[in-house]
């Protein structure tokens, strides 16, 4: 998706979406404005002025907004222990699978970068196995795999419901931020948002 943009026609790149919590103080629906993105040995700093613009406008609703680092990964980090280890290793507040790609694009195009991510699964909770195996490479959920997983492991229904509640809370928070993004930032002059 990023390769199709003409970097000369935009003034910055914003990674926008959900993330897994690494900081145990963050709850589903809390907003993280990235200070940096780390992936492996690579590190990208967020543009301060762009991040400040997001920070000033992101807390439009009742959601909590914090600054913190993001870790970019290639696969879902589902287990509570894995989240804790990643937090200990990096100090990051949250983990996602897209921001490092957007940050790398921005750096290559010499554009400012920022990220706004909403916590969808808190650090203190593992994702149910059925969820982590049902997430497609593009982030969508394969409903057939979820239903097959539930048929095999019906006791996972409770944790799946809790995960669904957290995810819906995150989506509500994200929608409030998305309204700001569309109205204020995109309407005001050519930022790319990863939706």
DSSP secondary structure of 56-82: HHHTTSS--EEEEEEEE-SS----HHH
Q: What percent of the chain has pLDDT over 90?
A: 43
Q: Span 166-187, mean pLDDT?
A: 73
Q: What percent of the chain has pLDDT over 70?
A: 81
- pLDDT band of 156, cuts 50, 70, 90: confident
Most confident of 61-75, 92-106, 168-182: 92-106
pLDDT of res. 7: 62
Whether residue 180 contacts residue 60, with contact meaning beta carbons closer than 8 Å, is answered with yes
Q: Span 26-33, mean pLDDT?
A: 94
Arithmetic mean of pLDDT over the chain: 83
- pLDDT band of 190, cuts 50, 70, 90: very low
pLDDT in tens, 86-131: 999 999 999 999 999 999 999 998 999 999 999 999 999 998 887 7
| pLDDT at 135 > cutoff 90 | no
In the chain, at which residue ranges do the beta strands (DSSP E only) sit?
A: 12-21, 31-39, 42-45, 65-72, 94-96, 113-121, 191-194
Whether residue 115 contacts residue 49, with contact meaning beta carbons closer than 8 Å, is answered with no
pLDDT of res. 193: 39
pLDDT of res. 154: 84
Q: Span 162-173, mean pLDDT?
A: 88
Q: Span 44-60, mean pLDDT?
A: 76
SS3 content of the chain, % helix, strand, coil (to 5): 45, 25, 30
- pLDDT band of 26, cuts 50, 70, 90: very high
Q: Span 46-72, mean pLDDT?
A: 80
- Phi first, then psi, for residue 78 (nearest 5°) are -100, -35
| pLDDT at 180 > cutoff 80 | no
Residue ranges of domains in the chain, CATH in brackets: 10-188 (3.40.50.1580)
Name the residue with higher pLDDT: 174 or 108: 108
- pLDDT band of 194, cuts 50, 70, 90: very low
């Amino acid at each position: 998706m990023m390769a199709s943009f003409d970097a000369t026609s935009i003034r910055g790149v914003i990674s926008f979406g959900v993330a897994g919590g690494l900081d145990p103080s963050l709850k589903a629906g809390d907003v993280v404005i990235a200070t940096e993105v780390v992936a492996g040995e690579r590190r990208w700093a967020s543009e301060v002025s762009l991040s400040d613009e997001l920070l000033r406008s992101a807390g439009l609703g009742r959601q909590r907004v914090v600054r913190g680092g993001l870790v970019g990964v290639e696969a879902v980090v589902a287990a509570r222990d894995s989240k804790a280890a990643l937090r200990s290793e990096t100090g990051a507040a949250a983990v996602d699978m897209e921001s490092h790609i957007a940050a790398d694009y921005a750096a290559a195009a010499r554009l400012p970068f920022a990220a706004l991510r909403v916590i969808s699964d808190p650090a203190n909770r593992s994702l149910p196995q059925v969820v982590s195996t049902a997430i497609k490479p593009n982030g969508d959920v394969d409903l057939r795999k979820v239903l097959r997983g539930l048929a095999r492991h019906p006791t996972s229904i409770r944790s799946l419901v809790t995960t669904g509640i957290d995810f819906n809370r995150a989506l509500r928070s994200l929608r409030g931020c998305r309204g700001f993004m569309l109205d204020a930032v995109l309407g005001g002059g050519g930022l790319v948002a990863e939706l």
